[in-house]
Amino acid sequence: MNSRILAATAAVSLAVGVCAVGAAEMIPAHIAAAVANPNRPAADTARDAARKPGEVLAFAGVKRGASVLELIPGGGYFTRLLSGAVGPTGHVTEAVPLRGGQDMSAASNGVAADPHFTNVSEMAFTPDAITKAGPVDLVWTSQNYHDMHLTVLKLDVVALDKQIYAALKPGGVFFIEDHAAKAGTGLTAPDTLHRIDEDFVKKEVESVGFKLVGESDILRNPADDHTLKVFDPAIRGHTDQFLLKFRKPG
């Protein structure tokens, strides 16, 4: 991480009461242990250099014993990390998209059935289920807030954000990591590029009552000009990404 990014991250972190996470030695021990967990698959650990999981979890403020609701967990990269970070007294609930009626099996990543991650469970990703999943300490979504805006899903995302707000405890955190689109593009990029305008996300999430309390440059890539689809081999795995931390007042 270059000095400019490190300084910016440190300044933001200190301003919101979160420790700076630019250096490995400043990552809390419980998070470092989660990253070093030998039960994480090689396919996950191979991505750590690009995804910087220790720094990301530290910025989000993941605590031992926390209850976490992870939205659209994909292959479980962060599910396993969150499981280790919250420890045996904490819990991670994966909100899995439904495919084919009420069947979650097609989208399940299998982490909840893995005996190495016994504090993980699954539920269906539906608005009603999200409301009933609370109260939780942290709602987590990585690289998929833009997916909620895909036209094919026909989701009322503002209503969904309200349900996320309701599912959180007072003082709870809504953490968003996503692929950045060009500033001012609003909702034109989710369907075409699988990206989203950061400022649009801030305004949308704050519109339901959340307060933005942290931003980080940990995963910024100035070489990404935001014109390529995130799956393009020229940029895949190295997109410019923003990290936003919102808090429910209370």
Question: Where exactly are the structural domains of the chain?
Answer: 3-247
pTM attached to this predicted model: 0.88
Lowest mean pLDDT among 43-57, 103-117, 128-142: 103-117
The pLDDT of residue 50 is 96
The pLDDT of residue 182 is 97
E-only strand ranges, 149-188: 168-179
Summarize the confidence of residues 6-23 as an average pLDDT: 39
Higher pLDDT, 153 or 3: 153
Quote the distance between the C-alpha of residue 57 and its chain's center: 9
Q: Are 60 and 138 in contact (CB under 8 A)?
A: yes
What is the number of residues in the chain? 250
What confidence category does residue 4 fall into, taking pLDDT thresholds of 50, 70 and 90? very low
Task: Inform me whether the pLDDT recorded for 40 exceeds 80.
Answer: yes
Q: Mapping DSSP to helix (H, G, I), strand (E, B) and coil, where does residue 129 land?
A: helix
Please provide the CATH number assigned to the domain covering 3-247: 3.40.50.150
Q: Which residues contact 52 (CB under 8 A, 6 or more apart)?
A: 218, 219
